Amino acid sequence: MFRNAIVRRPASSMVQGISSHPELGKPDYELALRQHSAYKATLRLCGLELRELDCDERYPDSCFVEDVAVCTKAFAMLARPGAPSRAGETEGMAALLAEYWREVESIKAPGSLEGGDVMMVGDHFYIGLSARTNREGAGQFMAALERHGLSGSLIEMPELLHLKTGLAWLEDGTLLTTREFLDHPAFKAFRKIVVPEHEAYAANCIRVNDRVIMPSGYPETEGKIRDSGFAVSLVDSSEYRKLDGGLSCLSLRF
């Protein structure tokens, strides 16, 4: 059960955010703000109390607040983004996390870790080794998990930005996955909902309390999730997609 979420208002500099899809064009800032409002309203409908950080124009990608921390039931981990332009986004986050957790740890150099590479499945955390999360950072996080009675495992990544670009844990034993992870031995035990290749972006969904929040415009994936017994809420995230960002990236939920 999640009770809280931290979000960060998008900066108008988001039009300069990192993107591996320049062909999609630059985000429309006003539309992005409206989509952010709809996203926040949906989180509130799911019963979450929201804490919204001010926008920070120095960091175009700072609305993707999930990448700067990992929240567990026992402690919070301040991340250390692997993208140099995002390094300063952690400023102020440790103090904020300390309002909610007695123990706040942090990833230290030369480790790097972004929250988008961490998928929580109960007390176990899957950690993707990506261009943003290195072995040292993942190792530090694993060690912290173990100190707190939790566990983790490493996932070698295919060509995806983050682990949760291609995977979402929907709970009730169910993993939403792109084809990249379909036969991965680490996920053998789970029931799988497979996202068709032409809807790959829809793999970035979030289960928040009684429902799955997913991006609008992906009808095959939506149908599969509904047919598997989940209630679904749709949020348009087209402007965040242009920056490789999705619904999980836009909040820290705990």
Under the binding rule (CB under 6 A), the answer on residue 83 touching ligand GLY is yes
Instruction: Give catalytic status of residue 148 as yes or no.
Output: no
- Cα–Cα distances (Å) from 21 to 47, 58, 131, in that order, read 34, 22, 17
* Cβ contacts of 24 within 8 Å, gap of 6 or more: 241, 242
Under the binding rule (CB under 6 A), the answer on residue 115 touching ligand GLY is no
Q: Which of 18, 38, 120, 232 binds ligand GLY (CB under 6 A)?
A: 18
Under the binding rule (CB under 6 A), the answer on residue 11 touching ligand GLY is no
Under the binding rule (CB under 6 A), the answer on residue 64 touching ligand GLY is yes
Under the binding rule (CB under 6 A), the answer on residue 53 touching ligand GLY is no
Residue with smaller CB distance to ligand GLY, 193 or 247: 247
* Phi (first) and psi of residue 151, to 5 degrees: -140, 165
Under the binding rule (CB under 6 A), the answer on residue 87 touching ligand GLY is no
Which of 162, 184, 198, 205 is catalytic? The answer is 162
Closest contact distance (angstroms) between CB of 93 and ligand GLY is: 15
Query: Which residues, numbered 208-247, are part of the site for ligand GLY (CB under 6 A)?
Result: 243-245
> Under a CB-based contact definition with an 8 Å cutoff, are residues 52 and 80 in contact?
no
Residue with smaller CB distance to ligand GLY, 93 or 225: 93
If binding means CB under 6 A, how many residues of this protein chain bind ligand GLY? 8
What order of strands is seen across the sheet that includes strand 118-121?
A: 118-121, 124-129, 151-156
Alpha-helical (H) ranges within the chain are 29-45, 93-98, 135-147, 163-166, 219-227, 238-241
Instruction: Give catalytic status of residue 162 as yes or no.
Output: yes
Residue nearest to ligand GLY (CB): 18
Q: Which of 10, 17, 27, 152 binds ligand GLY (CB under 6 A)?
A: 17
Measured CA to CA, the distance from residue 222 to residue 202 in angstroms comes to: 8
Contact residues for ligand GLY (CB under 6 A)? 17-18, 61, 64, 83, 243-245
Active site residues: 162, 249
